[in-house]
Chain A
Amino acid sequence: MNYINLAKIAKNALLRNKFRAFLTMLGIIIGVASVIAMLAIGQGSKKSIQDQMSSMGSNLVFIMPGSQQRGGVMMGNSGTQSLKLADAEAIRLQCPDVTAVSPEVRSNAQAVFGNQNWPTTMFGGNTFYLGIKKFEVESGRLFTDKEIAGLAKVCLIGKTVAKNIFPKGTDPIGQTIRFKTVPMKVIGILKEKGENSFGQDQDDILFAPYTTVQRRFLAIDYITGIYTSAASEAKTSAAIDEMTEVMRRQHKISKPTDDDFRVMSQAELVKTFTSISDILTALLGVISGISLLVGGIGIMNIMYVSVTERTREIGLRMSIGGKGRDILMQFLIESTMLSVTGGVIGILFGYLISSLVGSLMGWPVVIMTNSVVLAFLVCSAIGIFFGWYPAKKAANLNPIDALRYE
């Protein structure tokens, strides 16, 4: 028996019941389409998190103060004042895989210009800070090392702040705004960066020399963070190790559990957040997988009914020379044709839904080739798996009983 003939027989049998074949495929179509669309949405959100995170600098490594014991009293992470400028300097000198280092201090207050005011955060850093955090100066200039040393009252302004305190048409550069009553001269405008993946407006900032923020606004001698760039994304873990070592030496810490600082990398954060997105993707995938399974059971159901309904046909086929395995193969091919055709249509619909979701709702979608291949393979497997039992039933019929079946 050749398979081309069997395939023709199966095809003709399906075409005799076009509408039923379509309804049977519908379960698979919906299942596959939802698997593809859900995975595309899940992957899209993962990719957008990755993109946005790396827009903050994929080689970013930073140190935050950690909890610290002081006379038996645990201090919270933010209450500690463990980071010093000397730590930043030591990292700059002693870590070969770190290319740029900047201290960070922050101060929250109202920025005031004329009769307008706006609550914002002033970040203090050195000349490397913008590069490390992937900010760019759109117009004007960055402050100089001389201005850092002189606690100069200069700042760069983010787009959001500029929009809110300057009337339309005013060039902020050269203007003087007040922050905590200190007059600050605007020397540059930061290029727009948009929201980050947590919905934070990254343009709602002022940027000034760390010395200015530290002394003039906060009157402290510690810093709130150290931001660095590793030589490359691949070097981040090496950079973390080097920085941890330098920090322990600086703070004279022998046991890792005594660390009063935390070294983190953007890459790690990305990992954390994409793992959440991975769980979400898996969840969506499983749910649509269940609908695919239900579609498969639908095929089994229809094939089962079809075998009963076509008992006489099976009897006839056997009487004119169809062997048990010919009948088995015919029904297997029928169910596989149903599931594979449904799968192909489902893949097309999956693409359609994904791109509709992408364009209408503005969600990021990424269709992965392997999810398409997987869906296709699963479909074929479903056809064979769920077609097997009805096909076996058909093949085992006794031709005499089948011919006489009413």
Chain B
Amino acid sequence: MNNIIIEVENLKKDFYVGDVTVRALKGINLQIAKGEFVAIMGASGSGKSTMLNILGCLEKPSEGEYKLDGVSISALNKNELAELRNEKLGFVFQSYNLLSRTSALENVELPLFYNSRVKAKERKERAIAALESVGLLDRMHHMPNQLSGGQQQRVAIARSLVNDPVVILADEATGNLDTRTSYEIMELFQRLNSDRGKTIVFVTHEPDIARLTSRNIIFRDGWVVREEQVKDRTYASEIIKLLPVDELDVKITKS
């Protein structure tokens, strides 16, 4: 049984800006196995965002091979890519990207609307289950503007879970949050990874956050310059205990 979820081989991506060719990725090789929690790190311009876009099937490589869960994406057209995203991928963004004036429940349901095999009843049940797994069951009828940043990101995580994806792609998912909330979100990711075996690819430039994952892949100038297993892996739940207690934060996150 093949355990490799993401397989990238000699992958290149060029952009054409006027007459200039920008080589964003110059030949990437990487493999991510089922159940891994991988951090992709790098400075801006290192190509990590481009990598994430390709991993997320939002973009096709110029050259090379990318197989997601055994499916080579080079041969797929736009619509097939959309179906692939719908069924196999979950996205978590830095700025949450929730629909405004739409309840948490409906936001979480959204990916299933684009899957005609899921009926209305099942859609709702799965969305509720996803919200429960991020601890927001009692907030499912709240609008995004009635939720704190951390809660909004939890809704976004629930949304990425609802289609039961093979991999969750998170792009700077803690970038807009304060330290405590960041660790709470990371705790959730760690729990999803360890308890439910979710494969997670996490793009970040914060070393502290990267240390919470199991493996780090460091990009620079379109190359993978280093790849390492995290030896002294920390757990977000323990760090939170060490953080100074902020009254306001406790109140908000108590629920």
Contact = CB atoms under 8 A, between A and B. Distances in A.
A and B interact physically:
yes
A8 interface: yes
B93 A403 contact: yes
B82 A12 contact: no
A16 interface: yes
Given A1-B114, A1-B116, A400-B53, A323 B82 contact: yes
A400 B59 contact: yes
Contacts of A315: 97
Nearest to A16: B101
Contacts of A9: 113
A254 interface: no
Given A12-B102, A16-B101, A319-B91, A5 B113 contact: yes
B99 interface: yes
Contact of B79 (A12, A17, A324): A324
Interface string A315-326: 111111111111
B97 A316 contact: yes
A319 B113 contact: no
Given A324-B79, A403-B97, A8 B59 contact: no
Given A323-B78, A324-B79, A403-B93, A317 B110 contact: yes
A295 interface: no
B111 A399 contact: no
A12 B100 CA distance: 11
A12 B163 CA distance: 21
A312 interface: yes
A27 B79 CA distance: 36
B159 A324 contact: no
Interface in B114-137: 114-116
A324 B59 CA distance: 14
B58 interface: yes
Interface string A363-406: 00000000000000000000000000000000000011001000
Interface of B: 53, 56, 58-59, 78-79, 82-83, 85-87, 91, 93, 97, 99-102, 106, 110-111, 113-116, 159, 163
Given A2-B116, A319-B58, 13 more contacts: A5-B114, A8-B113, A16-B100, A17-B101, A319-B85, A319-B91, A320-B85, A320-B86, A320-B159, A321-B83, A321-B87, A323-B79, A324-B78
Closest 6 CB pairs of A and B: A321-B86, A16-B101, A320-B111, A321-B114, A323-B82, A2-B116
